[in-house]
Amino acid sequence: MRIFRSDIVSYLVAILLIVWVVFPLYYIVMLSLQPSRLAFSWPPAWLFVPTLDNYISVLLKSNFILQFRSSITVATGNTLLSLAIAIPSAYGLSRFPYRGKENISFWIMSARMAPPIGLAVPFVILVRMFNGFDNPLTLIALYLLPNLPIVVWMMKSFIDDISVDLDNAALVDGCSRWGALRSICLPLALPGILVTSLFNFIMSINEFVLAFVFMGRDWSTATVGLTGYITPQGELWGPMAATGTLIMLPVLVFALIVRKHLVRGFLFGTVKG
């Protein structure tokens, strides 16, 4: 293959882009491994003997473990609930020609249009009515509003990939539509269901605003806990960086597992890549 000068330029630009994307991630992990006396040094200490002190202090002396457990509880509960609700509807949207399908789509999407902080304004009354402050069930339910629209369209795009002929064969054999969904589509869509679940899980772990408003001492989540490090008295970069890294790592691992389908989620299934 002939190598053009423009190929070399492409690679140079690509390397710059990699540095631009990776540097903040690298820098935060580096800070989390730095001995605390080096945190504010000038020039920054690029080389040092890494230590786990910051992680030990975060895990033992802060509420991180409690808050992370809360994040996981809420994310798991919400993921199960939203998949259970979304799968039949995704099947329906994939297989049936509804009258007014455009309007249904727009309406489902519109659940995502209000800013979460604005949503919190009327929900203050509803949450108080049901005694839902500092209760993980509140977040499990509230996260349906931003997550469900994405999950429905993502699942629909996975079910679209399964041939209608298989459904029809099942129907000819005397299956009901629900039977076809259960015995044909569910097993074939399993990889899609897993990808969608992980996507929903990531979105729930990352959420901040609603958890910040509605959770209190016992069920505050890890993202809310992170903001607790910012005080007028000053900030401890080491533990902050360690907490940030601990929140980020599991999510990055999940994201790499579903990397081929991530864009599908962010774009509501309009792009399959």
Half-sphere exposure of 95 (CA within 13 A, CB side): 21
| Range in contact with another protein (rule: CB under 8 A) among 55-63, 122-130, 158-166, 189-197 | 122-130
> Site for another protein (CB under 8 A): which residue of 176, 187, 190, 218?
176
Tell whether residue 112 is a contact of another protein (CB under 8 A): yes
How many CB atoms are located within 10 Å of the residue 55 CB?
Answer: 19
CA distances from 100 to 110, 168, 201 (A): 15, 24, 31
Paired strand residues for 231: 234
Tell whether residue 119 is a contact of another protein (CB under 8 A): yes
Q: Closest by alpha carbon to 88, among 14, 163, 152, 12?
A: 152
Tell whether residue 12 is a contact of another protein (CB under 8 A): no
Tell whether residue 135 is a contact of another protein (CB under 8 A): no
> Site for another protein (CB under 8 A): which residue of 58, 86, 184, 195?
86
- Three-state DSSP class for residue 231: strand
Distance, CA of 151 to CA of 196 (rounded, Å): 6
Task: Using the minimum distance from each CB to another protein, give the nearer residue, 48 or 107.
Answer: 107
Task: Using the minimum distance from each CB to another protein, give the nearer residue, 190 or 252.
Answer: 252
Residues numbered 183 to 202 that lie near another protein (CB under 8 A) are 202
Cβ 20 to another protein shortest distance, Å: 8
Tell whether residue 144 is a contact of another protein (CB under 8 A): yes
Cβ 141 to another protein shortest distance, Å: 8
Half-sphere exposure of 42 (CA within 13 A, CB side): 0
